[in-house]
Amino acid sequence: MAADADRPMLLTNIGELTTNVAVDGDPCGTLRDAAVLVHDGLIAWTGSADAVPPSPDALVVDAGGRAVIPGFVDSHTHLVFGGDRAEEFAARMAGERYAAGGIRTTVAATRAASDDDLRDRLAALVAECRAQGTTTVEIKTGYGLDVATERRLARLAAEVTDEVTFLGAHVVAPEYADRADEYVSLVTGVMLATVAPHARWIDVFCEDGAFTAEQSRRVLAAGRAAGLGIRVHGNQLGFGDGVGLAVELGAAAVDHCTYLADADVAALAASDTVATLLPGVEFSTRQPYPDARRLLDAGVTVALASDCNPGSSYTSSMPLMIALAVREMGMTPSEAVWAATAGGARALRRTDVGVVAPGARADLVLLDAPTRVHLAYRPGVPLVRRVWKDGRQLP
């Protein structure tokens, strides 16, 4: 049932189509009894199912009155790594606190893994993402923390996505334990020069236990000088400088945003920086959830992402993020679906994904449900029935 490059596809009898092309106070641009025409991997037309332009050679796919949404845009993951941290998770569920230091356990396992092993595990995780409706995924390095391994991770990530982020400044490498500034010099010097050709973005973990505001500024400034866009991990474990720095430097996104001062919210609202919320982390670390309602009411653009990683959020499920955001963070179902699609696209500064509009990529998800609300209403139920990426149906 794939629409191949030379055969158009008409997806019709869609009960509810989420376009994310805002109309009359509806940011989700909802169309009922709709159809979508796909040609050459792109959306060619959307509209009412009884007004489809003539398309005699199109493969017709009947949505059976179900809902269709844009493919999820997961703008924050750490999918390339070795080993896992199930024991750390179990200890946490027995009362331990989450700390950034666990990252070093994964660094050791990742350095020890072969390229083939890492590639196979990455492919399995990407397949997991796709099966749950994610059609665009950002992937960070950050479990190498030496020049050779960071380069390996960036190259492997680039095999599966255009959205590769250099996160050499995840934590200070173990070899530099008491020499954080020297490690920052390595990251901003040889490591950046080696990894930048394989990456689109630079990121830093600006947090107590990782990097100070001044160190983070050095990292981000160097990345920008090397032609990379800026993203920040900030305000995850406590109040701090991450959000302010991200806004000041014009970052595309600042991610986590769990502990925000009023000034952080005001700064975000006055900026183009997206606040990306990662509720899988709070779910998996038993920490307080970020207050999405406060951000939305202030006019901040909010994205949802999985942060899939072996430490703080070992899940690739965007439907789970939607369910958590609605039940725990004050978002409406429509706001959460928008944040997981169009919001992710904004966080990656992309206009060709996260939207169902002529000229956009034909990245579509057919739900086994009549409306998008069911993604939050039926948590844990596999509602993703079919996925198309660039017009091709995924297996």
For binding to ligand NIG (CB under 6 A), which residues are involved? 102-103, 106, 205, 233, 236, 281, 307, 309-312
**CA 61 vs CA 35, 55, 123, 387: distances in Å:** 10, 13, 28, 12
d(CA 105, CA 238): 22
**CA 272 vs CA 74, 143, 300, 359, 368: distances in Å:** 19, 29, 9, 24, 35
The dihedral sign for the CA sequence 95, 99, 103, 104: negative
Q: Which of ligand NIG, Fe ion, none binds 106 (CB below 5-8 Å, type-dependent)? A: ligand NIG
Block residue for tokens 């390339």 = 80
Residue nearest to ligand NIG (CB): 311
Which C-beta is closer to ligand NIG: that of 247 or that of 281?
Answer: 281
Known binding residue 132? Answer is no
Residue 10's SS3 state is: strand
Known binding residue 76? Answer is yes
Which C-beta is closer to Fe ion: that of 206 or that of 375?
Answer: 206
Q: How far is the CB of 171 from Fe ion (least distance, A)?
A: 12
Known binding residue 39? Answer is no
Known binding residue 259? Answer is no
Which C-beta is closer to ligand NIG: that of 259 or that of 388?
Answer: 259
Neighbours of 2 (CB within 10 A): 14
Known binding residue 236? Answer is yes
Q: How far is the CB of 323 from ligand NIG (least distance, A)?
A: 19
Both tokens of 293, joined, read 């309602």
Which C-beta is closer to Fe ion: that of 29 or that of 344?
Answer: 344
Q: Which of Fe ion, ligand NIG, none binds 271 (CB below 5-8 Å, type-dependent)? A: none
Which C-beta is closer to Fe ion: that of 201 or that of 388?
Answer: 201
CB 258 within 8 A of CB 280: no
Both tokens of 311, joined, read 């430490």
- H helices present in 23-131, as ranges: 86-93, 103-112, 115-131
Q: How far is the CB of 102 from Fe ion (least distance, A)?
A: 13
Known binding residue 256? Answer is no
Q: Which of Fe ion, ligand NIG, none binds 391 (CB below 5-8 Å, type-dependent)? A: none
CB 278 within 8 A of CB 76: yes
Known binding residue 78? Answer is yes
Contacts to Fe ion by CB under 5 A: 307
Instruction: Detail the residues annotated as belonging to a binding site for Zn(2+).
Output: 76, 78, 233, 307
Instruction: Detail the residues annotated as belonging to a binding site for Fe(3+).
Output: 76, 78, 233, 307
